[in-house]
A and B are shown apart, each in its own frame.
Chain A
Amino acid sequence: MDPPLQKLDRVFIQYLYLLPPIIAIALFLFLYPVAYAVYISFTNFDLYHLFYYTFVGLRIYQEILTSNTFYTLLLNTVIWTVGSLVPMVVTGFILALILNQRDIKGRNVFFTLLLVPWAFPAYISLVIWYGMWNYEYGIVNKFLGLFGIPPINWLTFTNTAWAALILTNLWLSFPYYTAVFLSSLQSIPSELYDIAVVDGANAWHRFRYITLPPLMRSAIAFVSVGGFVFTWNNFYPIYILTGGGPGISTDILIVYTYQEAFSYGYYNIAAAYSVISTIILTIMAILMLRVGRVLEVIT
């Protein structure tokens, strides 16, 4: 055999050794849990049928899709996702633009400080925020009181609960968006700005024609799709701050799924909810990927 072919053979055999762990990981860490969830969503598998359960077909899906609860949860999930994503992207973008100024002093210090909310364990942050929204002792009402604004029972009423949830999520998440936008901004060659200045372009023109186009192509589209998927399934803020309440007025699909499984013991219903949520999310992500042409940019 020719030496190059021998070498190819050797490489092929080496890769062959990697195959079993790759298959094992794919099967047990990815495919098995997903397949099992799909499977039990077609059964009566719950706490009371833990060892012996039977196939019930599409009954669970039919019950979910014909219930008002599902549509309330879906609407809440959209409110939560879009309501969080828009301010997060805008805030992250503005902060990145500020930090990208060449003449700004102590940029690294500011950037490090901005990362603190992201670096701090989210669970702990949320417990602290829970205290901050307290009617009587929370710092938010104390602060508003300085301006003569009467205290608000933030987490007890639907509208104020949404505001509290979205503001908390904004605080938790904006550093990520800032970091992504900033790295993207810094990849734009500074010479372009210098040439534009020589050509007489003002700040708005530089932003509109140099900064925005590459960002729109890559960072904004990428961050929007990624952020959408992440926020849709962002469990802890709602679980810790409101538990989905009052009633289910701030409950979202992922939190309700958890409650169905671990509070009520209906694993089959929880699995069906997660399958439906995943299908909706996948459709939304594909649409956004197509519209944002993120894959084209990446490839």
Chain B
Amino acid sequence: MNKLGLSTGGAIIGIVVAVIVIIAAVVAVFYLYKPSAPKPTTPPGFVIPISDFTPQNVYSPSFAQTFCSKVGNVTITVWDTYSVSENQAFNASLASFEQLYPCIHVEVTYGVGIATSNFISAAKAGQAPIVYRDTSDDAGKLFAAGLLLNLSEYLPPSVFEQYLPTAAQNFYLNTPSAHGYYGLPDNINYIVMFYNKQYITSPPNTTDQLINMCLQVNSTYTCGALPMASALSGGYRFAAWFAGFGGQIFGPNNMPQLNSSAMANALEFWYNLTYDLHINAPDMNPSLEGQLFTSGQAAIIFDGPWDLGTYFKALGCNLGAAPLPVVSQTGLHASPLIGSTGWVIAAPQASGATPQQLEAALVFILYMTGPQAELNLWNYAHDIPANLQAYNTAVSQLKAGQLTHRA
């Protein structure tokens, strides 16, 4: 007998019973458990399942045929915010899209500047375009306001893996009120260093090298050539240097923390370059720096790939591009903000779109951010593709020195 008054035999029987009960419970749970209802595979009113909306499918003639037979004729409205050269690429992609999907009629409004205020006004009236092209930061505001479709609820997760992770992430928001992907990127952009090989043979890796090279340009080309023309107006362009001096725009609780020694050092660095060393032209703006660079009057500028085509046309083989240099004082790279432009779909409340129009819109934005359409943008306008496949092709072209200008 033990302290509880049980005999050894009784204890054994108790253990055996307990084991049997546990096994019975596990078996019962195994057979009786039914997983909770899965997320609907087809959104309300849709006739195409979510899993079918993939970049591979939308380029497939058999899918297009199935789509048209199930959905029927449908019209979608599109606000096009491309530049002139980008529009050449867009029109080429649009023509092939309409050939593949004769049932989708695309009503394009050309020449809409990227201006969310126009979209907001139209959305308030319930007349926003069904499809719109916007920058990732501007569109984020629209998504937070509930004016854009949450694509995470309409596309399979694998779709977002077709793009450069940073580009896809640019169109992702995670706030208490809005959570998910709200657009598909058609390019990726950030500030790089463009230089004229006539003055700078190889790009500087550090800011010390940059200063020395610029001083060299100053002493060699006493008239007609500025070492640098950098428009640092606005936070977007300056952010890279702030980061290079160790600054972080947002601190704990997502509050901005700009009042820091990193900011003071970054400002001092540019002040010295401009007013003490006189190697940077003062009072620059993006338009002026572009003019100076294309006319061969500036050796280095810091600008984005959206002007790559213009610079390449002006300088040809003399054009060089490189990442921003490492800040010598800190050993950190000047890291630019990375943004994207891409396609978004208006929420039905903002556009009045029917489920079939939404289906057509999903097909349209998948097509326009697919490898073929993004390569068109690369070839015509030198937009850096966000689509992985198109990006790899573009990079291999660059490495092979095959950059060409298509007027």
The distance in angstroms between the C-alpha atoms of A134 and B349, with both chains bound, is 46
User: CB-defined interface of B109-148 with A at 8 Å, one 1/0 digit per residue?
Assistant: 0000000010010011000000000000000010011110
What's the least CB distance linking B221 to chain A, in Å?
A: 16
Say yes or no: is A51 at the interface (Cβ < 8 Å to chain B): yes
- When chains A and B are docked, how far (Å) is the Cα of A298 from the Cα of B288? 50
Option from A47, A137, A155 in Cβ contact (under 8 Å) with B288: A137
The reply to whether B282 and A153 contact each other, CB–CB distance below 8 Å, is yes
Contact check, B283 vs A50: say whether CB atoms are below 8 A apart: no
Roughly how many angstroms separate A265 CA and B145 CA in the complex, as a whole number? 10
Residues on the A chain within 8 Å of B332, using CB: none
Q: Are B283 and A262 in contact (CB under 8 A)?
A: no
Residues in A whose Cβ lies below 8 Å from that of B141: 47, 265
Our pick among B120, B283, B284 for the contact of A47 (Cβ within 8 Å) is B120
Residue A156 CB within 8 A of the other chain: yes
Q: How far is the CA of A51 from the CA of B147 in the complex (A)?
A: 10
On whether the beta carbons of B283 and A136 are closer than 8 Å, the reply is yes
Query: Could you give, for residues 283-309 of chain B, a 1 whenever the CB lies within 8 Å of some chain A CB and a 0 otherwise?
Result: 110001000000000000000000000
A137 partner residues in chain B, CB cutoff 8 A: 288
Contact A136 B282, CB 8 Å, known A50-B123, A50-B124, A51-B349: yes
The docked-state distance in angstroms from the alpha carbon of A138 to that of B120 is 38
CB distance B120 to A156 under 8 Å? no
Question: B211 interface residue, CB < 8 Å from A?
Answer: no
Is A153 a contact partner of B349 (Cβ separation < 8 A)?
Answer: no
Please tell me the number of chain A residues within 8 Å of chain B, measured between CB atoms: 16
Given contacts A137-B288, A156-B283, contact A48 B117 (CB under 8 A): no
A contact residues around B349 at 8 Å (CB): 51
Q: What chain B residues lie within 8 Å of A265 (beta carbons)?
A: 120, 141, 145
Is A135 positioned at the interface, with any CB of B under 8 Å from its CB? yes
- Complex CA–CA separation, A298 to B177 (angstroms): 58
**Dominant secondary structure of chain A at its interface with chain B:** loop
A153 near B283 with CB under 8 A, answer yes
Contact B283 A135 (CB under 8 A): yes
Find out whether the CB atom of B288 lies under 8 angstroms from the CB atom of A262: no
User: How many Cβ-Cβ contacts under 8 Å join chain A to chain B?
Assistant: 36
Expressed in whole angstroms, the Cα–Cα distance for A122 and B288 within the complex equals 21
Q: A136-B282, A265-B120 are in contact. Are A48 and B288 (CB under 8 A)?
A: no
How near does chain B come to A256, taking the closest CB pair, in angstroms? Answer: 16
Nearest Cβ in chain B — how far from A171, in angstroms?
A: 20
When the two chains form their complex, are residues A50 and B145 in contact, meaning their CB atoms are under 8 A apart? yes
Interface residues of B in 22-73 (CB under 8 A from A): none
* Max chain A Cβ within 10 angstroms of own Cβ: one of B144, B145, B281, B349: B145
A137-B288, A265-B141 known; A50-B282 Cβ under 8 A: no
A134 to B147: give the CA distance in the assembly, Å: 40
Contact indicator per residue, chain A 258-280, by CB within 8 Å of chain B (1) or not (0): 00011001000000000000000
Do B282 and A47 touch (CB < 8 A)?
no
CB distance from B321 to the nearest CB of A (A): 25
A145 to chain B, nearest CB (A): 14
State A155–B281 Cα separation when bound (angstroms). 15
Residues of chain B in range 263-286 having any CB-CB distance to chain A below 8 Å? 281-284
**Cβ of A136: which chain B residues have Cβ within 8 Å of it?**
281-284
318-360 of chain B: CB within 8 A of chain A: 349
Asked if A262 contacts B144 (CB within 8 A), the reply is no
Tell me the bound Cα distance from A53 to B82 in angstroms: 34
Name A151-193 residues within 8 Å CB distance of B. 153, 155-156
Task: Give, as a whole number of angstroms, the nearest-CB distance from B218 to chain A.
Answer: 15
Interface string of A44-62 (1 = CB under 8 A from B): 0001101100000000000
A57, B117: Cα distance in complex, Å: 26
> Is the Cβ of A134 less than 8 Å from the Cβ of B288?
yes
Known: A137-B288, A262-B117, A265-B120. A48 touches B145 (CB 8 A): yes
Q: Of the candidates A48, A51, A134, A261, which one forms a contact with B283 in the assembled complex, judged by CB atoms under 8 Å apart? A: A134
**A47 and B145 contact, Cβ closer than 8 Å, known pairs A134-B288, A262-B117:** yes
In the bound complex, what is the Cα–Cα distance between A265 and B118 (angstroms)? 12
Residues from chain B with a CB closer than 8 A to the CB of A262 are 117
Chain B's closest residue to A49 (CB) is B145
Cα distance A136–B144 when bound, in Å?
42
Cβ–Cβ < 8 Å partners of A156 in chain B: 283
**Cβ of B156 to closest chain A Cβ, rounded Å:** 29
Closest CB in chain B relative to A142 CB, distance in Å: 13
Q: Are B123 and A48 in contact (CB under 8 A)?
A: no
Q: Tell me, rounded to whole Å, the shortest Cβ–Cβ distance linking B265 to chain A.
A: 20
Residues B117 and A50 in contact, CB atoms below 8 Å apart: no
**Interface pair B282/A48, CB less than 8 Å apart:** no
What is the CB-to-nearest-CB distance from B139 to chain A, in angstroms, rounded to a whole number?
13
Shortest CB–CB separation between residue B228 and chain A, in angstroms?
12
For residue A141, which residue of chain B has the nearest CB? Answer: B283
Could you show 25 A-B contacts with beta carbons less than 8 Å apart? A48-B144, A48-B145, A50-B123, A50-B124, A50-B145, A50-B146, A51-B124, A51-B146, A51-B349, A134-B283, A134-B288, A135-B282, A135-B283, A136-B281, A136-B283, A136-B284, A137-B288, A138-B283, A153-B282, A153-B283, A155-B283, A156-B283, A262-B117, A265-B120, A265-B145
Which 10 pairs, one residue from A and one from B, show the smallest C-beta to C-beta distance? A135-B283, A262-B117, A47-B145, A135-B282, A48-B145, A136-B281, A134-B283, A136-B282, A50-B124, A136-B283
Given contacts A47-B141, A50-B124, A137-B288, 6 further A-B contacts (CB under 8 A): A47-B145, A48-B146, A135-B282, A138-B283, A155-B283, A265-B141
